[in-house]
Amino acid sequence: MERLRVVTWNVLHRVHGENWQELPIDAFPDERERTRGVVRRVAEWLDGGVDAVCLQEASGDLSAALDEALGARARRFAHVYPRVPKPRTPAPAPLGDPRELLLTFTARPARQVESATFATDPGKGLLAIELGGVIRIVNTHVSSGPRRDDQLARVRGAATAAGAAVVVGDFNAPADVVGAALGVEFAVSDLRGQPPTRSASRSLPGKCIDHVAAFGGELAAATVIDVGGLSDHNAVLGDVDLGA
C-alpha cells in the first residue's frame, strides 16, 4: 500500500472574517502578517514530507503569496468561485484580489481532473487532482444544512471515479453525518479527544467539522494541528494507506 500524508486547512478568507467578526482578524489586524504566517505553515508542511496541502477560503492575495514563496517546489491547482466575497461594512477589506479559491499544492507529479462550484452555493465546491493516474485527492468546502446532501453526493462521485482517493476539507458537519453521506466504503477521521477543528468564536463553542476520508484504503491516523490563531479553523493532517 502507498502512504499519503495530506493536510487540509480552511484559512479564513479575510472578508468572511471581518463580516463575522472572527477572532483571528483581531489577532492579525495586518492581513499581510497573517498571510506570511499561512505561507510559512504551508511551506513547512510541504518541505517536511506532506504529499499535498489542501486549502479552503484562500483569497487571491494569499494564492499569489503562496505562488511566490513556493515557486517550483510545488505544483499548484486551483478552483475559483464565481462569488466574490463582499464586505458588509463600507470600508473595503485590505485585499488586492478578493476572489475566493480552493487551492491544492503537491510536490508530486499530478494533474487536475475535476473542478466545480456546487449548483446550490456559488461559494462552495470541489477540486480534484490525480497522482500517478490512480489516486485522487479531492479538496472540498461543503455548505451547512440541507444543501450538503447533493454536494456530498457530488464529492462522492469525484472520489469513486478512481480506484483510491483521499477526500479532505471543511464539511460544515460532524464525522457521522459526512460518513453516512459518503457511504460505508469511506473511512472518515475520528477526531474525538483532540482540539476542535473549527475554533470557538465569540458566541459558539468549538467543533470538529474538518475531516479526512479514505476510499479504497485505510485511514492510519488523523491529527488536529494548532495553527496559532492564524485562522478560525485548525488544520488536520491525515495519514492514509491506499492501493493494493
Q: Which of 127, 137, 113, 211 is nearest to 169 (CA)?
A: 211
Question: What are the domain boundaries of the chain?
Answer: 2-242
* 199 contacts 20 by C-beta, under 8 angstroms: no
The CA–CA distances, whole Å, from 163 to 100, 183, 220, 243 equal 30, 15, 18, 8
User: What does the pLDDT read at residue 92?
Assistant: 65
How far is Cα 96 from Cα 115, in angstroms, rounded to an integer? 24
pLDDT, residue 1, reads 76
**In Å, how far are 63, 68, 203 from 71, measured between CA atoms?**
12, 6, 40
**Are 236 and 170 spatial neighbours (Cβ–Cβ below 8 Å)?**
no
pLDDT one digit per residue (tens) for the chain, 244 residues:
789 999 999 999 999 999 999 999 999 999 999 999 999 999 999 999 999 999 999 999 999 999 999 998 899 999 999 999 999 887 666 799 999 999 999 999 999 999 999 999 999 999 999 998 789 999 999 999 999 999 999 999 999 999 999 999 999 999 999 999 999 999 999 999 999 999 888 777 889 999 999 999 999 999 999 999 999 999 999 999 987 5
pLDDT score at 51: 97
Q: Which of 51, 34, 17 is nearest to 212 (CA)?
A: 51
Q: Which residues pair with 211 in a beta bridge?
A: 169
* pLDDT value, residue 200: 80
SS3 93: coil
Question: Which homologous superfamily is 2-242 in?
Answer: Endonuclease/exonuclease/phosphatase (3.60.10.10)
Q: What is the pLDDT of residue 11?
A: 98
Burial (CB < 10 A; 0-12, 13-18, 19+), residue 116, is middle
Looking at residue 244, its pLDDT comes to 57
Cell of 32: 499581510
CA angle 214, 215, 216 (to 5 degrees): 120
